[in-house]
Amino acid sequence: MMDHCFVLAKDSFAEFFESLSKLGRVYAPVKVSDQSYSFRQVESHEQIAFEALRTILPPKKYFYPTQETILRYNDVQIEEHKPEIDFQILFGVHPCDLAGLGIMDTIFTAGPADSHYLNRRQSSLIVGLSCMPDKHCFCQSMGTDCPESGYDLFLTDIGDDYLLEVRTAAGVKAVDPIMPLLRAAGQDDESRYKAFWSNRAQAFTNGFKPDNLRSVMAMEWDNKIWDEMADRCLSCGNCTPVCPTCYCFDLVDIASLNGTSGERRREWDSCQFVGFAQVAADYNFRPGPVDRLKFWYRHKLHGFDDPFGFQTCVGCGRCTVSCPAGIDDIVSVVQALQATNQAKTKHDAN
């Protein structure tokens, strides 16, 4: 059996939660409307929506707020803004979001490191939670369905109990006070654990195969599908804040009225906004919705050319459910591209 695996009875969850909340503020998915969930601060385990699949925004917002002050200045000096960072616990982070955090970590750690993100990241504990996919989930296709890293603790629902995996030193410290509640995992627990993940693997229904995804994205760069989609694109930018791996930002100055002091702030930005790639003298490198939409899709599915080389879609399905024009259905779009790609390959072969 894996190292540091324990069994936590669901009946004991309240005590587990109490113990976590002694470490700092706990944030978890909460039901906020008939069909939506959001990561919010929770005071009691009863507020947690265990059934939640995708929250409106991914948990990146706790490390990378929608806006934050970077520095303050006046007419004589510039000073870095270093806010007090409280320890925070994120509970109920699903595998796709863990993979998303892993990608954000890579980008913000690459030199020069982003202190604003990393200082918050280092001051937090991540507790992952297993889930069963719905029709929009395709983490399995993107290879992010099994949590590999990015968490301190992970809970797998094995019926009346959770199988608790302890991954990091911070995780060991966090479970220390509740050790009396835990028991070592036995053979039966292992079987239930395997059965859960095996059933979950069978539960993905969309049949999306990301074979040759990178080359398909490259080959279909001029496909007319992009133009058809762009005709419907509102350039609203909804797809980017909801994405667990969209990290683009703008740096803006907020000056005081007298003009002698102010602050420099970082705000979330979106590559779908018309001025995103515009340079001085109004030259725009991505003037049309089609340029911006293609860019976003390519960045997600083909990913970085360098320095990282990986794709940045984790298959959470948030863009699909939040696109008002219904064009961010990644699975259908890629399947259509794959189909034209196959047709072309066959034609070339003939």
Partner 1 sequence: MMQISTPFMPEKGVIRSIVPMAQDNYLFEFKTDTDRLAACKPGQFVELWVPGVGECPISVCSGRVTESIQLLVRRVGRVTNALFQMSEGDWAGLRGPYGHGFPVERYKGQNLCMVAGGLGIAPIRSLWQYVLDHRQDFGKVILIYGMRHSDEMLFREELKLLLQRGDIHVFLAADDATVCELPPFAMQVGRVTDMIRQAAIDHDFQVAICGPPVMYKYVIEELKAKHVTDQNIWLSLERQMKCGIGKCGHCFIGGRFTCQAGPVFQLADLKFVPELIECDNGGAQ
Q: Where on the chain is the footprint of partner 1 (CB under 8 A)? A: 70-71, 73, 78, 80, 82, 85, 107-108, 110-116, 118-119, 122-123, 218-219, 221-222, 247-253, 255, 259, 262, 264, 266, 269, 271, 276-281, 283, 285-286, 291, 294-295, 298-299, 302-307
CA atoms within 13 Å, Cβ hemisphere of 93: 33
User: Collapsing DSSP states into helix, strand and coil, what is residue 80?
Assistant: strand
Written as six digits, the tokens of 281 are 């003298």
Q: Give the shortest CB-101-to-partner 1 separation in angstroms.
A: 16
Residue 307 and residue 184 in contact, taking contact as beta carbons nearer than 8 Å: no
Residue 94 and residue 131 in contact, taking contact as beta carbons nearer than 8 Å: yes
Query: What residues are paired with 27 via a beta bridge?
Result: 41, 90
Q: Give the shortest CB-207-to-partner 1 separation in angstroms.
A: 26
Written as six digits, the tokens of 144 are 């992010």
Q: Give the shortest CB-89-to-partner 1 separation in angstroms.
A: 15
Nearer of residues 155 and 243 to partner 1, judged by Cβ = 243
Residue 302 and residue 213 in contact, taking contact as beta carbons nearer than 8 Å: yes
Nearer of residues 18 and 263 to partner 1, judged by Cβ = 263
Q: Give the shortest CB-64-to-partner 1 separation in angstroms.
A: 10
CB atoms within 10 A of CB 46: 8
| Burial class of residue 26, CB neighbours in 10 A (0-12, 13-18, 19+) | buried
Nearer of residues 47 and 119 to partner 1, judged by Cβ = 119
Nearer of residues 310 and 342 to partner 1, judged by Cβ = 310
Nearer of residues 13 and 108 to partner 1, judged by Cβ = 108
CA distance 180 to 342: 58
Q: Give the shortest CB-88-to-partner 1 separation in angstroms.
A: 13
Nearer of residues 123 and 199 to partner 1, judged by Cβ = 123
CA distance 244 to 24: 23
Written as six digits, the tokens of 61 are 């917002």
Nearer of residues 14 and 113 to partner 1, judged by Cβ = 113
Residue 271 and residue 236 in contact, taking contact as beta carbons nearer than 8 Å: no
Query: 20: closest CA among 181, 247, 217?
Result: 181
Helices vs strands, H then E, count in the chain: 11, 12
Q: Give the shortest CB-273-to-partner 1 separation in angstroms.
A: 11
Nearer of residues 120 and 200 to partner 1, judged by Cβ = 120
Q: Give the shortest CB-310-to-partner 1 separation in angstroms.
A: 10
Residue 102 — φ and ψ, nearest 5°? -60, -40
Q: Give the shortest CB-50-to-partner 1 separation in angstroms.
A: 31
Residue 89 and residue 124 in contact, taking contact as beta carbons nearer than 8 Å: yes
